[in-house]
Structure 1
């Protein structure tokens, strides 16, 4: 019998590997045995309760309206001790080898950390306390946003990673417009003298060279024939008169040199203030834009000084059109590069997830993954600047990070503050 392993099955197995938080309370010099529980006991203030004999500590993290801080309460036989009766020091060991040592001062009937407890609040905790001359020690795990996945399941789920690194961000604005002939390359061809058109030697769409005969006219005054010649290279775009018509000073035909064309773009006020003549841009047909293809590179050559009745300003670029790809009247899209700058750290926009109403990526530490709450800067649509929350060089998940988020959300509700 042959079995096939589907993506859905991989996700089920991935979810089954979630690492649940476990509190380990180790006795210090009192010689208590280690205790293991799937969830630490809760104290009167909703924090983690650690007990040895008649002494108990309650560990809380408070962050509503203030930077996160740790507050510790002490109890003897269930009665709260005043803050001057005991001392405590806490060491937090995080994934990636970071260790933070917290010192405390008295505030009311509890001790409060002098250091901010940065996110994520996920660490192995070591506590040293002294109560009435007696020393106590506890170790326990306080994990959130963390999961461990085997290499096999990672491969099946399609998780990919990259490294937090410097990157150049490119900020663009999308404008829409229409291809137009270059105004001073459109020629209205007339006969120099009034007369009868005896022959038209061209048709619409025909390419001509400068000096080619496009019509023969018999002068009304001299009755002599004379040629009407093309004033430039180009394409016949319109015939204004027919053979046998009297010229009467009117145009015979229209000739356009379309080897270059204008791209007339529409810019709304919020975009207009970012535009400058000379900015590079990429012009794409609507089909190429939908297909994600690259466009033709050029620069902004003109920005109108006035607005239209629809509160739109006209911007313009010139593009080469030797192969005739860009036809007047064609609707196009342009990506204007309005800013580019180098940033010390950036992550892929695709990597971002929301965890506890914060923007996060999943850092990878071997086969363990953990959220990193990010302070974000500018976003160019592909990468976003990182101002804080993760170390340079950290490996992070770029693809399918939502699978890890689904995994860790199962125990997110147990996070203590």
Structure 2
């Protein structure tokens, strides 16, 4: 409920701050955030953008049918298609962070074909220079997608958090369940040293006792002398089979359990067993608290439900028999670059994070690898050292979606 309320508060705050920004003197967005709607782009017969300079027209399109995305261009003079070898064309793409991709073109069939793949996101300032018989034609326009600008004060108010993408240690875990049991090394069953009649009982069931405290008084059958039976360890009386006037008869009279340390008994099923090893790190969850330990022992016998018991010592007095869940670490490895799972969002058909450059945020389409805990390995789409949004990344997603940002070729 708290998370839902926090999410709603963020969305209300975003709406208010967006309204305040939109009502200011100048828009704060570039093709994917707050501000005025983008002008309608005139398209040509190849669904490319038409760029005109008097009687000279260039149609520029991103083509990606059966090939990686690339630029293709058709050139017209007085409405007639020119031969591609009559025009020298170059396109410069200036991406967020002022990284520039230079694309040269070569004739092919009736069009000019770019010599570089246009990698995602297709978000950049496009600068074009076309030379036809010594006359140079230039155009420049914004082709932004998945981008927005948020002022630092607004980002702080929305609790947007960023981190730096880089190497990480991924720790793979499996989820298991179990219960709390007594530590076998901290249990004592107590008998009378000399059989006789019990003449006094100094404790009650459930009582906490200290080491050396008197538990029972017994009158020996042989010597008729009385002696006290004392607690060999500190702990709790968990069984009391002694009453005044009763003969001891060699029976176990008292059981004491030291519950300052307990054992988590975890059920490991056959599909998990090959990956679980003695010494593996474990986090036991009890009433919202994470208790750490390692697997001390894997039982040799199989339980009726076909699981094997893994035992983990815990330095905490948890009630015996309490039901618990736990995460057992089964692998650990280093990866060159990873991002936190909390920062992942969906954008078109991609899984993305939002990179931050100054006050601007823009999608980065990711190729993902292994997942472990809070981390996800990145195989492509993000450069090491990139600042990306972790907490409250949905705020950026909402702001971009609200603007109606499109994938315009």
From the superposition, tell whether residues 106 and 231 of structure 1 become closer, same or farther in structure 2 (CA, over 3 Å).
farther
Which SS does the other structure have where 1:310 is aligned? coil
User: Residues of 2 paired with 1:380 and 1:387: CA distance?
Assistant: 15
Q: Is the 8 A contact 2:89 2:130 kept in 1?
A: yes
2:29 counterpart (13, 16, 19)? 19
Alignment of structure 1 residues 13-412 onto 2, 5 Å: 13=20, 17=27, 19=29, 21=31, 38-64=39-65, 66-81=67-82, 83-131=84-132, 135-192=136-193, 194-204=195-205, 205-209=207-211, 214-219=216-221, 222=222, 224-225=224-225, 227=227, 229-230=229-230, 232-235=232-235, 236-286=237-287, 288-289=288-289, 295-321=290-316, 325-410=317-402, 412=404
Query: Aligned pair in 2 of structure 1 residues 296, 19: CA closer, same or farther (>3 Å)?
Result: closer
Any unmatched runs of 5+ in structure 2? 1-11, 33-37
* Alpha carbons 1:199, 1:217 under 8 Å: kept: no
Hey, what's the Cα distance between the residues in 2 that align with 1:170 and 1:114?
42
CA separation of 1:64 and 1:12: change in aligned 2, threshold 3 A: farther
Contact kept, 8 Å, 1:49 with 1:58, in 2: the verdict is yes
Q: Where does structure 1 lack aligned partners over 5 or more consecutive residues?
A: 1-5, 23-36, 290-294
Aligned equivalents of 1:18 and 1:412: distance in 2? 15
Deviation at 1:374, TM superposition (A): 2.3
How high is the TM-score relative to the length of structure 2?
Answer: 0.81
Determine the C-alpha separation between the residues in 2 that align with 1:82 and 1:273.
Answer: 67
Deviation at 1:123, TM superposition (A): 0.9
TM-score for both structures, normalised by structure 1: 0.79
Equivalents in 2 of 1:150, 1:185: separation in Å?
60
C-alpha spacing 1:54/1:331, structure 2 compared with 1 (3 Å): same
CA contact (8 A) 2:201 2:242 kept: no
Q: Tell me, in whole angstroms, the C-alpha distance in 1 between the residues paired with 2:292 and 2:303.
A: 27
Could you tell me how far apart the structure 1 residues matched to 2:386 and 2:323 are? Answer: 44
How many residues align structurally? Answer: 387
Question: Structure 1 residues 116 and 312 mapped into 2: Cα distance closer, same or farther (>3 Å)?
Answer: farther
Whole-Å separation in 2 of the counterparts to 1:158 and 1:260: 41
CA separation of 1:254 and 1:12: change in aligned 2, threshold 3 A: same
